[in-house]
A = this chain, B = another copy of it.
Amino acid sequence: MQITFTTLLDLLGTFAFAVSGIRHASGRQIDWFGAYILGLVTAIGGGTLRDLLLDVTPFWMLDPKYFLTTGVALVSVLIFKERLLKLGSTLFLFDTIGLGLFTVVGITKSIDAGLPFWVCIIMGTITGTVGGVIRDVLLNQVPLLFRKDIYALACVAGGVIYFLCRYLNLPMGVTESIASLTVIVFRLIAVKFHLNLPHLQAIKSKSKRL
């Protein structure tokens, strides 16, 4: 297996997503196997839904590295515990890099499948965010995605920039880099300045049937 720079980023992103799933599983009467599964679905859930929708072979069937990386993430958490999370900002950076990379991978695969640009942007966003949604559903919580941060909008922004670059005929590698960086910078700024979308206020319905 040749380790390219993209592969390395992919594995770091997978590692950070898996740690996120495993950490959320901790302290909830969940055993090691359950923690592994939660790490795994966080890391591969978004790409799996994308591939099902695109009707292509789910990416993780073609290479065991995602399963192995999640195993490494579990062992790391078991060994290093809180010390791993002292790397909080490093892990957050991996997680954000993963988000940018996964989004671009999702867009590229969807272009290859011949889909229109707006579907590609949706697929990029699904790739980046759905793993965390499945993690939260399995842990019996309303998805964080719906509550805070401008997480998904960062993916959408990266997607829009991607197609702007394509429209300008920039080379593929440049387009992908700029789009990934857009996702990353967008998210970093949102977290740094505590940018959030407004919440939807309670609406009382007189009809009990809707």
- Please give the residue numbers on chain A whose beta carbons come within 8 Å of chain B beta carbons, in ascending order: 16, 19-20, 22-23, 25-35, 37-38, 48, 52-53, 55, 57-58, 61, 64, 67, 77-78, 81-82, 85-86, 88-89, 91-92, 95, 115-116, 118-119, 122, 133, 137-143, 145-150, 152-153, 191, 196-207, 209-210
Q: Could you name 26 residue pairs across A and B whose Cβ atoms are closer than 8 Å?
A: A16-B210, A23-B205, A25-B200, A27-B202, A28-B200, A31-B146, A31-B147, A31-B196, A32-B197, A32-B198, A33-B153, A33-B197, A34-B143, A34-B200, A37-B146, A38-B146, A53-B61, A67-B118, A81-B203, A85-B205, A85-B206, A89-B207, A92-B210, A137-B137, A140-B140, A140-B141
A87 to B28, CA, bound (A): 32
Asked if B210 contacts A85 (CB within 8 A), the reply is yes
Using A53-B58, A91-B210 as known contacts, say yes or no to A30 and B147 having CB atoms under 8 A apart.
Answer: yes
